[in-house]
């Protein structure tokens, strides 16, 4: 099971007593801010949670799974996530 944007909105609304409209606008604004920052090539650091980084991948040789033939994969950018030590400890039940 995955946590969805709707789940986040409901949880924030219930925890803070905000209206659905306020909560939806706030969550949407936060996500747009994160997307814009990553799209500009900057990292996003959320203390106690983790860091989202944009990494460049070079052009590389790949394999077409349907034909088994070689192909070249274009250079591209990917987003990586590194969790903070606090989050890692929480996930592992430490502390």
Dump pLDDT digits (tens) for 80-90: 999 999 999 99
User: pLDDT tens digits, residue range 18-76?
Assistant: 999 999 999 999 999 999 999 999 999 999 999 999 999 999 999 989 898 999 999 99
Distances (CA, A) of 94 to 48, 49, 83, 85: 14, 15, 15, 10
Would you state the pLDDT for residue 74? 94
pLDDT-based confidence at residue 94 (cuts at 50, 70, 90)? confident
Backbone angles phi, psi at 57, to 5 degrees: -110, 140
**Helix, strand or coil, per DSSP, at residue 39:** helix
State pTM to two decimals. Answer: 0.80
Q: Which residues contact 62 (CB under 8 A, 6 or more apart)?
A: 70, 71, 72, 73
* Cβ neighbours of residue 53 closer than 8 Å, sequence gap 6 or more: 43, 79, 80, 81, 82
């Amino acid at each position: 099971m995955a946590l969805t944007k709707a789940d986040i909105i409901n949880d924030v609304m219930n925890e803070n007593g905000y209206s659905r409209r306020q909560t939806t606008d706030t969550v949407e604004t936060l996500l747009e801010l994160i997307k814009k920052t990553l799209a500009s090539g900057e990292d996003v650091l959320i203390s106690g949670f983790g860091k989202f980084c944009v990494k460049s991948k070079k052009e590389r040789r790949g394999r077409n799974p349907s034909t088994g033939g070689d192909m070249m994969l274009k250079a591209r950018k990917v987003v990586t996530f590194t969790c903070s030590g606090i989050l890692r400890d929480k996930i592992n039940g430490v502390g």
